[in-house]
Structure 1
Amino acid sequence: MVSTKNADKVIGLPEEISGADPRLANPDLLPTSVAARRWGAWNFAALWMGMIHSAFGFAVIGGMIATGMSAWQALAVVFVANMIQMGLMALTGRVGSRHGIPFAVWARSAFGSFGANVPAFLRGVVAVGWFGVQSYLGATAINVLLGTSFSAWRSWDTVYGGIPINLWISMIIYWAINFALIRHGMETIRRFESWAGPLIFVVMIPLVIWAFGRMDGLGPVFDHASSYSSTTEFLLKGFLPGVALFISASWATMVLNLPDLTRFARSNKAQVTGLFYGLPLATLVFYGMAAIIVSGSQAATGKVLWNPADVLVAIGNPVISIVGAISIAVATMSVNLAANIVSPAYDFTNLFPRWLTFRKAASASILLGFLYMPWKLMQDPDTLFLVLNNVGAVIGPATGILIADYYLVRRGRLAVPELYRTHTVYWAHRGYNYWSLGVLVVSTGLCVAGQFVDAISWTYDYASVLGIAVGFALYLLMLPLARRSSIAEAFRPIGDTGEENANLNQVTERPAAAPSVSHE
C-alpha cells in the first residue's frame, strides 16, 4: 500500500480525499466540487443539439433508406432508438451529477480500483476512432468552404494516400482547431457548445427552403417506398435491427461515459431536461430536415447525396455553400469535443494519472485519431457498420454491469473518497474485481461470437442493446456466488447518494472552472 506521505503529494488533493494513492488520483480525476457544477439545462440541450447536428447524421439516415426503409420508417427508428438511449443516459448521467466523478473513476466501484482500466481503455480507444471519423467529415466541409471561396484550392487535387492534397490540408486545419479549443479547458468547451449546437439551424432552414423550391411535395426521398412487404417483416428485419444499429452508430458510447459531462451539471434534473430536448426531439427535427434537403438535391441533380459537403457543392450557391460549410464544420467539432475528446482524455488519464493530465491525454487522443485512417472507413459502408456493431458488443456489457452494480447493488450510494484509495471496499483482489471482469468477458464474447457463428448471428446484430441486457443480467446472476467468495466485501454498499449544486441553500464557494482541466 502506498504511504499517506507519498499519496498526499497529489497536487490539489482535497482534505476529504487525503491518503489517495497517486496511481488513482490527480487533479483531473478528482470530484468536481458541488459549487463548481454549474452546467444548466440549456447547456446540456445545446450540447446535445451540437452532437446530433453533425455531418454523420446525414450518412446514418441515408444508409437506412438505402437498405430498403422508407424515410418515415427510418425516422421512426431514429426516434425510438434515441428514446431508449435517453432512458439509459438518465441512469448513468445521475452518477456524475450526484457524485461529481468521471466514468473511469465510477467504474472502480464495479470492476476494482485497477480493473476499471479495462472498460475505460476500451471506451477511450472507441472514442479516438470516432474522433477520426467525425473529424474527417468536418474536414470535408472545410474543404468545400475553401474550394468555394478560392478557385485555386480546387486545383490542389493531386491524390496522396487515397485522398487529394487539399483534403489533407483541410484535415490538418480541422485537427489544429480542436487542439486550440481543448487547450482552453472545460469552461471554454461549455461556452462553445452553448452556441455551436444551435448554429446548424442557421444553414439548415434556408437549405430546407431551397429543397422545397426544387420539389413537388417532399420529393423522391419521401416518395421512395419501403422494400419490406409487411409490417411484421419491417419490425423483425428492419425496425429492431435498425434501432440496435442506430444505437451503436450514435450514442452507445456516451451512455457509458456520460458522467464525464454530467459531473459539471447543476442538478440531475438539469441534465435530464437538456437531454430530452437536445436528443430525441432535436434529432427527429434535424434528421427530418436532412432527409428533405437530400430529397431536394436529388430532385435538382438526379443524384442521391448523403454527405452534406456534396449537397453544398450540388446546390451551386456560393453564399449557402460557405455558410453551410462553416456551420457543419463547427457543429461536427462540437460533437468531437464532448463525445470523443473529453472521454478518452479522462480514460487515458485514469490509466496513467502520474504522467498524464487532461490536456496531455486530450492532445494525444487527437493525434491518435489519424491512425484510424477514417477516410478508409468512410469509403466502405459495410466496413463502417462492421466497426459500429463491434463497438456495441464491447461497450454494451460494461454499461449493463455498471447500471446493475450502481442501482441494485450499491443502491445509488458511493463512498467517493474510497475510490481514490487502495485496500478499500472497492479494492477487490489486488485492485481487480474478477467477478465483474469475468462477466464483461463472457458478455462481450457472446455478442462478438455472433459474427462468426450463424446460429447466434442475432447476438451480433443486436449487440449494442443486447450487450447491455446480457451484462446486466449476468452480473445479477453471478452475485450470489460472488458474495460467498473471498472478495465478498467488494459488493457491500457504502457511502452516500451524493449531492447537487441546486440543493445547496447557500453557495459559499466561488464557482470556478472545472478542476479537471485547470492543471498541467
Structure 2
Amino acid sequence: MTATDDRSAADTAGTGRALYSYDLAPTKKAGRRWGAYNVFTLWANDVHSLGNYAFAIGLFALGLNVWGILLAFLLASALLFLLLTLSGYMGHKTGVPFPVMSRIAFGTKGARIPAAVRGIVAIAWFGIQTYLASSVLNALLVAIFPGLQSLQDRSALGLSALGWITFLALWAIQVLIVSYGMHVIRKYMAIAAPTTLITMSALAIWMFLRAGGSISFSTAQPLTGGAMWLQILQGAALWVVIYGTFVLNFCDFTRAAKSRRSIVRGNLVGIPVNMLLFAAIVVVLGGAQFELDGRVITSPTDIVQTIPNLVMLASASVALVVLTIAVNLLANFVAPIYVLVNLFPRTLNFRRAGLVSAVIGLVILPWNLYDSPVVVNYFLSGLGALLGPVFGVIMADYWLLRKGRVNVPDLYSEDPHSDYHYRNGYNLKAVGAFVPASAISVVVALVPAFESASGFSWFIGAILGAVIYAAIGDSKPDFRDVDGEAIAVPAE
C-alpha cells in the first residue's frame, strides 16, 4: 500500500511543478474515509499525552482545587471545539493539507513562512516526545530485568546506553508506521484510543481505591479569590495554546473527513466530553497521591513506577508508550512531513519526508533540548507564540474576507494572474499583519515584565493578526469558489 491511499491524485495540467505533488493534491471526495470515530480518536489519543498530564497536574500543584481545574478545562474545551471545528471545515471544504491551505492567505510562496514555523516546532517536539516515551520504557525494562541498570550508568551525548537503545527502537517504529501512510496512522489511532482511555481510567480507579476511596480536593495552600480566577483563566488559555499547533494543521486530517457532520460529532465527543474525562482522571490521580502522602506528582509515570504488581506495571507502561507514539504521529510527525513535501515536491513524497523529519528529530539530540529550560522556554515558547498570529491571519482571510470561497486549482498554479500569486507569490498584506502581531505576541510570551499576561500570548497574537489583516486586506475579494474535484482524478 502506498503513503497516499487516503487521497486521490490530481491532474498536473495547469499546475506548477514547484507547487504540486501527489501528496499535496486535494483529497477526492470519493476517497474520504475519516468518520466521526476517526476524528474522535485524534483527541482520545492526543489529549491523554504525558506532556498534557504533566501540565494539568501542574495546575493542582499551583494551588487550583478540583473544581477550579474542571472549570479551566471546561472553558478551554469550549474554545477548542469552536476553533478546531472552524479549522476542520476548511480542510473538508478544500481537501488540502496545511502548507497548501496557507497559500490562500499568504500566497503560493509566502505560505512557506507559516508552514516552516509549524514544522520546526513539530520536529522538536517529535524528538522530545520520543525521548519521554523511551524514559517510560527504560523504567519498565529495568523493573523486569534489573541487570540492565548497568546500561543506565553509561552514557554518550547526554543519553544513557539503555536510553539510546529504547529511543532508537521507538524512533524506528514510528518511522515504519509513517512509511505506510495516513491510512495506517488512522488504523493505529483506532486501536490506541480505547487502549489509552481504558488504561488511564483503570489507573485512576486503582489510585482512588489505594487512597481509601477519597482524594484531596486541593493542596495545603489552595488559591482563592482573584488569584484563583486568574489561574483558572490562564490554565484554560494555556491549554488552548498547547493545541495552537493542531488548530493550524487539523486540515491535514479533516481533508479526509466524510462530512462536516463527522467533524462536529468527532470533535464534540473528542474535545468537551473527552477533555472533561481527562480532567477527572487528572484530579483523581493528583488528589489521591496527595491524600496518600502529601506529595504532588508531576506525571502519571510517577504513579506507574510505584505499581507493586509487575503485570500491572508492564500493562500501564506499554499503554503509555503506545499513547505517546500516537500523540507523536498526530501532532508532531504529519505536520513536518507535509511541510517538507511542500518545500521539495519534486524530490520528496510522504514516506521520504517522514524519514527526513525523523532524522532531524534525532540529530538535534532532543533529550538535551528537554533538559534545557532556556531552550524550552525561549526557543520553543517563542516559536509557539508565532502560531497565534498565523492562525488569526488565516482565519480572518478565509472566513471574514473570502466567506469560505476558495479556488482550489489556483492553489497549485504559478500563473501570475492566478488568485493566490499576489506579488511574486507573496501576499504582502498577510505578511504585514503577521509581523507586528508576532512581535507583540513573542514579547508578551517571553519578556518577564509581561509574565502575568504570558499565558494569553497566543490569543493576543491571534486577535491582533486577525484584526490587522481584516483592516488592511481586500474586503471584497474577487475569488471564485472552485472545488478540488476540478483537478482531482480517481486514486491509483
CA contact (8 A) 1:448 1:459 kept: no
Opposite residue 479 of structure 2, the aligned amino acid is: P
Seen in structure 2, the aligned counterparts of structure 1 residues 355 and 392 have a Cα distance that, compared at 3 Å, is same
CA contact (8 A) 1:19 1:421 kept: yes
Percent identical pairs in the alignment equals 33
Q: Does 1:286 align with 2:314?
A: no
Structure 2: distance between partners of 1:361 and 1:498 = 24
Range with greater deviation from structure 2 (458-467 or 51-60): 458-467
Range with greater deviation from structure 2 (152-161 or 331-340): 152-161
Residues 435-465 of structure 1, C-alpha deviations (whole Å, 9 max, x = no match): 1111111110111122565665566431112
Shift of residue 300 of structure 1?
A: 4.8
The answer for unaligned runs of 5 or more in structure 2 is 1-7
Seen in structure 2, the aligned counterparts of structure 1 residues 306 and 193 have a Cα distance that, compared at 3 Å, is same
The answer for unaligned runs of 5 or more in structure 1 is 1-11, 500-508, 516-520
> 1:247 aligns to what?
240
Structure 1: distance between partners of 2:121 and 2:71 = 27
> 1:492 aligns to what?
478
Seen in structure 2, the aligned counterparts of structure 1 residues 493 and 455 have a Cα distance that, compared at 3 Å, is farther
Residues 353-387 of structure 1, C-alpha deviations (whole Å, 9 max, x = no match): 11211111111112222345443454466864555
Secondary structure of the 1:304 match is: coil
CA contact (8 A) 2:27 2:484 kept: no
CA contact (8 A) 2:106 2:427 kept: yes
> 1:102 aligns to what?
97
- How many corresponding residue pairs? 479
Structure 2: distance between partners of 1:394 and 1:211 = 39
> 2:335 aligns to what?
343
Residues 149-188 of structure 1, C-alpha deviations (whole Å, 9 max, x = no match): 2222233221424443222221111111101101111111
CA contact (8 A) 2:61 2:296 kept: no
TM-score, length basis structure 2 = 0.90
Selected match of 1:321 from 313, 316, 335: 313
Q: Does 1:272 align with 2:264?
A: yes
Structure 2: distance between partners of 1:453 and 1:296 = 37
Structure 2: distance between partners of 1:387 and 1:243 = 22
> 1:462 aligns to what?
456
Structure 2: distance between partners of 1:68 and 1:377 = 28
CA contact (8 A) 1:179 1:363 kept: yes
Structure 1: distance between partners of 2:289 and 2:16 = 58
Opposite residue 399 of structure 1, the aligned amino acid is: F
Secondary structure of the 2:245 match is: helix
CA contact (8 A) 1:297 1:315 kept: no
Structure 2: distance between partners of 1:434 and 1:99 = 23
Range with greater deviation from structure 2 (202-211 or 397-406): 202-211
Range with greater deviation from structure 2 (395-404 or 302-311): 302-311
Residues 373-430 of structure 1, C-alpha deviations (whole Å, 9 max, x = no match): 4434544668645556424420011111111111121111111111101121210111
Structure 1: distance between partners of 2:282 and 2:17 = 48
Structure 1: distance between partners of 2:166 and 2:132 = 10
CA contact (8 A) 2:77 2:271 kept: yes
Residues 174-215 of structure 1, C-alpha deviations (whole Å, 9 max, x = no match): 111101101111111111111111111332233223212221
Seen in structure 2, the aligned counterparts of structure 1 residues 288 and 194 have a Cα distance that, compared at 3 Å, is same
Seen in structure 2, the aligned counterparts of structure 1 residues 328 and 98 have a Cα distance that, compared at 3 Å, is same
Opposite residue 119 of structure 1, the aligned amino acid is: P
CA contact (8 A) 1:90 1:272 kept: yes
Opposite residue 213 of structure 1, the aligned amino acid is: L
| Alignment root-mean-square deviation, CA | 2.4
Residues 465-497 of structure 1, C-alpha deviations (whole Å, 9 max, x = no match): 221111111111112xx57xxxx9xx4322246
Q: Does 1:205 align with 2:191?
A: no
Selected match of 1:229 from 205, 224, 228: 224
Structure 2: distance between partners of 1:410 and 1:154 = 60
Opposite residue 421 of structure 2, the aligned amino acid is: W
Pairing 1:12-91 to 2, within 5 Å after superposition: 14-15=10-11, 17-91=12-86
Shift of residue 226 of structure 1?
A: 5.7
Shift of residue 40 of structure 1?
A: 0.4
Opposite residue 49 of structure 2, the aligned amino acid is: S
Selected match of 2:181 from 185, 201, 204: 185
Pairing 1:100-499 to 2, within 5 Å after superposition: 100-160=95-155, 161-220=157-216, 222-224=217-219, 227-230=222-225, 232-236=226-230, 238-248=231-241, 250-300=242-292, 303-379=295-371, 384-386=376-378, 389-422=381-414, 423=416, 424-451=418-445, 460-479=454-473, 491-496=477-482
CA contact (8 A) 1:393 1:460 kept: no
